Amino acid sequence: MILVVDAGNTRIKAAVFEGTMLLEVFIFTNIEAEKKIQNILKNFQKTTDLVVCSVGDLGKQWFLAFENVLNVHFITNRDVFPFQNKYATPQTLGIDRMVLAAGATLQFPNQNRLVIDAGTCITYDFIDQDDNYLGGAIAPGLRLRYEALHQYTAKLPLLSFKNPDNLIGNSTSESIHSGVVNGFVFEIDGFINEYKARYLNFIIILTGGDTDFLAKRLKNTIFANSNFLLESLNQTFQHKTKND
């Protein structure tokens, strides 16, 4: 069994796999991480490997503490990936974006793919049908947009996101919800439409913490999978193992 860990900016997602089968998913904070991982290993005692993709605050040494019980692997941009990296600054490309691109390449061969990861930030990553990673876009996620309105104005409240009741907000709160949520959805649909106008044989993959909230609100047909990064991390590790 393999335990994969996606250590993100605001939380940690982990999953246990047996081969390609996802057995269970876990979500916790950095503070809870040590106890949670110990409990996972206690419940899945056949786990042999820990595979880490980290863009957050937990350092490499923290994970190496588990070397006495597991084989610890870090996915980095120096690993073998199933695509050609055409990014102009490959050394700055986040490892989470590379893992998502790898998963899209392996799961959806011979077609153009756009991976949209809606979390703290929203990222767009495009891999063409010839398995070239071309790049994408980065923008603030839903939570950051609400926080920015509150932090950089004198009187706007900090709200938790919800579906706006109307396009035309009839109060300050409803106007914020309409601006943030509708603007976010319009942005995503706009990006998708531009890509679809340029490329045929196309699939859109939506993932990240806001997947379920967004999936029903987008006009475009998408493949929605909130666990796509975890699945991609497992697939990237399997690819790395076969090609090292």
Q: Measured between alpha carbons, how far is 104 from 236 in angstroms, rounded to an integer?
A: 10
**Which letter does DSSP use for residue 201 in this model?**
S
* DSSP category for residue 158: P
Burial of 203 (0-12, 13-18, 19+ CB in 10 A): middle
Say if residues 95 and 54 touch (Cβ distance below 8 Å): yes
Residue closest to 52 by CA, chosen among 8, 114, 11: 8
Q: Token digits for 143?
A: 């939570």
Active site residue 165: no
6, 79, 96, 125: which one is catalytic? 96
Helix%, strand%, coil% for the chain, nearest 5: 35, 25, 35
Q: Looking at this protein, which amino acid is placed at residue 138? A: I
Within 10 A of 50 (CB to CB), how many other CB atoms are there?
23
- Give the count of beta carbons closer than 10 Å to the beta carbon of residue 143: 17
Catalytic residues: 96
